[in-house]
Amino acid sequence: MNQKLTPDETGSNEIGKVSCDICRKEVPLSAAIIPEAVDYVAHFCGLECYTQWKQHAQRSQKAPSGKSGR
């Protein structure tokens, strides 16, 4: 998982920041866009990275698998 334990403003070691799954920019967990997938949770720093991830996922679903039906 790409969550980090970082001290928050109170100094406690709670999960405070996560890395964007696209650009790896660290963002506060409370501000991350968190769409849930089947096997994992993806975090994004903003709509641009979320849109890029979503478009890539849609292209991957439409692409032929390359496997024959034999």
Dist CA 70 CA 68 (whole Å): 6
- The predicted pLDDT at position 5 comes to 45
**Given a cut of 60, is residue 7 above it in pLDDT?**
no
Burial of 49 (0-12, 13-18, 19+ CB in 10 A): buried
Question: Taking the model in full, what pTM does it have?
Answer: 0.54
What is the domain extent for residue 14? 3-62
Instruction: Extract the tokens encoding 7.
Output: 């001290």
- Let me know if residue 70 belongs to a domain: no
Q: How many structural domains are present in the chain?
A: 1
Contact in structure between 45 and 38 (CB atoms under 8 Å)? no
Our separate counts of H helices and E strands in the chain read: 1, 3
- The predicted pLDDT at position 57 comes to 86
- Let me know if residue 69 belongs to a domain: no
Q: Indicate the DSSP class of residue 30.
A: G
